[in-house]
Amino acid sequence: MHSAPPRAHRFPEWLLRDVALNVAVAAAYLVVGHASLAAATEHRAVSSLWPPSGIALFAIIRFGPRLWPGVALAAYLLNSSVGIPAIGSLMIAAGDTLEALIGARLVQRVWESREGPKRLRDVVALAVLAGGLSTAVAATIGVGTLLITHATTMATAASLWLVWWTGDAVGVLVVSPMLFAWSHPEAPRAAHPPRRLEVVLALIGLVVITDVLFARWGMLSFAVFPLVGWIALRLGMRGASTAVLVVTLVASLRTLAGYGPFTTLSPTANLFALQLFLALLAIKGLSFAALQDEARLSEASLRRSEERYRTLAQHLPNGCVVLFDDALRLVLVEGPAVAAAGFVKEEVEGRTLDEIFQPAHAAVLSRPFRDALRGHDVEFEFDYHGASYLVRALPLAGQTASGAAGMALALDVTERDAAQREVAESRARLQRLSRLLLTAQEDERRRMAREVHDELGQALTAVKIGLSASLQRAQRRGSLDSERHVRTAAATVDQAIESVQRIVLALRPGVLDNLGPIAAIEHAAQQFGERSGITVSLDLPPEPLLLDTERATALYRTVQESLTNVLRHANARTVSVTLRLDDDELHLRVVDDGRGIGDDQLRNPRSMGILGMRERAAACGGWLTLSRPAGGGTMVTMTMPLHPAARSLEPA
């Protein structure tokens, strides 16, 4: 048997990819760096224009910090090639690598993606954080290294640091934006994008004009600024970054050849003036392009929003969607409710509220619309020509060129309001009917109590009188059997009289009508305690209350029903009844220490006792709640307003 040959070792794909990227970055850094050293006038290792700084920043941001070895290797080889000692080359390479890493870290805290500057704030971050701060790190380490290795002197250190710093800064501002712009697909532009011929002619014209200005009319060299600005507005970030690079190359070559406005001072001053010129040109061109891209993206976002809102509005039954700007001009109007209100959307779009509505209606809409522009979410109802609309105004910041916009959703709720009014009227009728039924019930109880008391009570009393007479005769005759039968009958009559009294009390206690609700509650609590053995504590006003019949009955019946429920369901040992008078309201609370009412009992529609208590409270303009206190048991709370005639009686 032959064993299988060992499998060849394969490197991970990510490692091969990273090695390839590092090699590519190092190669680009070396090639461009050697070409840039032609502009080294102050020192053989310090160029007044250093594009490799832009290449390194782009590589670290675009592909991540794992490309720092390529930057460090290229920087080391480049400095070694111009005669810098090994230790010096290593320190300068460390400074150049830190410059790229720090700059990338700082700008990525501001940028939203790795695709380069897209907004004005991105351009500012690139100029200040990467072009200003991180390049100072490389310049400081580099000049310090040259001093340590005796490659320069203190007399020239300051001017050398300035040239190093500004050269790296110009490289960051000129090279990295162009690499970002051309390494990503360009977003779709406006309806009339520039043609290729226009792009070619614009760049050729820029080269010719820049060369002519620097070669013959150096004092007019700033005339390239408006041309670069136009290219930025017309061609976007790609055009702006390419135009800045073109001007940089032409201006640098002409200046090194002794032409242009930056040749009349000392070499250091000339280089600084050129670098300042190029930095300002780059910042202006990139800023114009970023502003144009922001406006274009905002317009595209607005168009997408309009399409979404139009689609939404077209599917809204009896509704519409309105977009408006900070001048309260209707940017978009869509939906079935527009035509139903008598408008034509093509006629109202582009007009303000004051131009569409009468002053009264415009004033009603203007205030919530302005609140929406301030960032508030406002909901209100708007009546127009017999129809009712539920309107919700929302902020849509940054959706228009003015920077603020709002959206209003309107629904025709005329039918809903009519249905709600009908429901409210039906509820009111039911409440009136319930009140009438409760009143009729109390009246019937009062009548039955009176008839039972008068008719049956009198009859039983007469029977008892007759039995008493029969008992006396039986005692005189000495008939023990007759006496025993008469006494039994008399006891039965006494029980019947007690039952009648109890029935009369349950139907309508006379103490309620004669002495008021306070006395009636005290009497009911006493009877309940005697009958059930449950301790009842009372906390009632010391003075009687003058209440109308309806409120007095509701108060008494609530206490009566609560005590009945305690006896039937609570298994309690104590009950407390509290009545408080607070300004123009009565507060009743009945609390027991029993097992507590269950959720099913609270939601049970057949709990007629609870429903009756709530109906009585509602009929008096109050409300009733049931809850379980933290310590257990059940608490019944009723709050109702006092009758205007109700007051506490002052003692005489």
User: Can you spell out the DSSP letters for 305-337?
Assistant: HHHHHHHHHHTSTTEEEEEEETT-BEEEEESHH
Instruction: Select from 3.30.450.20, 3.40.50.300, 1.10.1240.10, 3.60.21.10 the CATH code of 316-412.
Output: 3.30.450.20
At residue 95, the pLDDT reads: 92
- Give residue-wise pLDDT tens across range 156-176: 888 889 888 988 999 999 999
At residue 453, the pLDDT reads: 56
Comparing 623 with 611, the larger pLDDT belongs to: 623
Percent of the chain with pLDDT over 90: 15
Comparing 424 with 441, the larger pLDDT belongs to: 424
CA torsion sign for 138, 139, 145, 149 is positive
**CA-to-CA dists, residue 443 to 438, 456, 498, 508, angstroms:** 9, 19, 23, 9
Q: Alpha-carbon distance 109 to 361, whole Å?
A: 48
- The answer to whether the beta carbons of residues 558 and 596 sit under 8 Å apart is no
Average pLDDT over residues 181-204: 70
Cα Dmax for the chain: 161
Comparing C-alpha atoms, which of 501, 516, 509 is closest to residue 454? 501
Q: Alpha-carbon distance 229 to 344, whole Å?
A: 42
**Strand 535-539 to 574-582 pairing:** parallel
Comparing 148 with 514, the larger pLDDT belongs to: 148
Average pLDDT over residues 504-519: 72
**Strand 623-627 to 330-334 pairing:** unpaired
Q: Alpha-carbon distance 205 to 223, whole Å?
A: 13
Comparing C-alpha atoms, which of 342, 341, 323 is closest to residue 333? 323
What interhelical angle do 68-80 and 13-36 show, nearest 10?
A: 30
Comparing 166 with 429, the larger pLDDT belongs to: 166
At residue 115, the pLDDT reads: 83
- Give residue-wise pLDDT tens across range 322-361: 888 888 988 888 888 888 888 888 888 889 999 999 999 8
Band of residue 191 on the pLDDT scale cut at 50, 70, 90: very low
Band of residue 647 on the pLDDT scale cut at 50, 70, 90: very low
Band of residue 441 on the pLDDT scale cut at 50, 70, 90: low
Strand order in the sheet with 574-582: 535-539, 574-582, 585-592, 635-641, 623-627
Q: Alpha-carbon distance 58 to 56, whole Å?
A: 5
Q: Alpha-carbon distance 276 to 173, whole Å?
A: 11
**CA-to-CA dists, residue 628 to 108, 597, 599, angstroms:** 58, 7, 10
At residue 594, the pLDDT reads: 87
**Strand 378-384 to 330-334 pairing:** unpaired
List the domain boundaries for the chain.
Answer: 10-175, 185-294, 316-412, 419-508, 515-652
Average pLDDT over residues 92-99: 92
Q: What's the whole-number average pLDDT of the chain?
A: 80
Average pLDDT over residues 389-403: 71
- The answer to whether the beta carbons of residues 378 and 392 sit under 8 Å apart is yes
At residue 1, the pLDDT reads: 44
Backbone angles phi, psi at 459, to 5 degrees: -65, -45
User: Side-chain half-sphere of 142: how many Cα atoms within 13 Å?
Assistant: 30
Contact residues for 356 (Cβ-Cβ < 8 A; gap 6+): 330, 343, 348, 362
At residue 27, the pLDDT reads: 93
At residue 508, the pLDDT reads: 61
Q: Alpha-carbon distance 340 to 343, whole Å?
A: 7
- Give residue-wise pLDDT tens across range 108-162: 999 888 888 888 888 999 999 998 899 999 999 989 998 898 888 888 888 889 8
**CA-to-CA dists, residue 277 to 160, 273, 353, 404, angstroms:** 19, 6, 50, 36
- The answer to whether the beta carbons of residues 240 and 232 sit under 8 Å apart is yes
The least confident of 85-89, 390-394, 483-487 is 483-487
At residue 449, the pLDDT reads: 59
DSSP code string of 6-27: PPPP---HHHHHHHHHHHHHHH
Q: Alpha-carbon distance 23 to 14, whole Å?
A: 14
Q: Alpha-carbon distance 171 to 168, whole Å?
A: 5
Band of residue 646 on the pLDDT scale cut at 50, 70, 90: very low
Q: State the burial class of residue 88 (Cβ atoms within 10 Å of its Cβ: 0-12, 13-18, 19+).
A: buried
At residue 447, the pLDDT reads: 64
- Give residue-wise pLDDT tens across range 15-66: 888 888 999 999 999 999 888 887 677 777 788 788 999 999 999 999 989 9
Instruction: Indicate if the pLDDT at residue 583 is higher than 60.
Output: yes
At residue 91, the pLDDT reads: 93
Structure tokens at 176: 């990295």
Q: Which residue has the tokens 């009548």?
A: 447
**CA-to-CA dists, residue 238 to 56, 92, 117, 232, 286, angstroms:** 19, 32, 11, 8, 9
At residue 454, the pLDDT reads: 56
Structure tokens at 72: 């460090």
- Residue 382 pairs in a beta bridge with 389
- Give residue-wise pLDDT tens across range 543-580: 888 888 888 888 888 888 888 888 888 888 999 999 99
The reply to whether domains 316-412 and 515-652 share a CATH topology is no
- The answer to whether the beta carbons of residues 56 and 25 sit under 8 Å apart is yes
- The answer to whether the beta carbons of residues 59 and 174 sit under 8 Å apart is no
Q: First CA to last CA across the chain, in angstroms?
A: 127
Band of residue 650 on the pLDDT scale cut at 50, 70, 90: very low
Helices (H), 37-134: 52-63, 68-80, 86-108, 120-125
Comparing 391 with 399, the larger pLDDT belongs to: 391
Instruction: Indicate if the pLDDT at residue 502 is higher than 70.
Output: no
Instruction: Indicate if the pLDDT at residue 11 is higher than 80.
Output: no
Contact residues for 218 (Cβ-Cβ < 8 A; gap 6+): 259, 260, 261, 262, 263
Helices (H), 516-633: 517-532, 549-565, 599-603, 608-619
At residue 60, the pLDDT reads: 93
- The answer to whether the beta carbons of residues 497 and 467 sit under 8 Å apart is no
What's the CATH fold of domain 10-175?
Arp2/3 complex 21 kDa subunit ARPC3 (1.10.1760)
Comparing 105 with 315, the larger pLDDT belongs to: 105
What's the CATH fold of domain 515-652?
Heat Shock Protein 90 (3.30.565)
**CA-to-CA dists, residue 41 to 255, 267, 352, angstroms:** 12, 8, 64
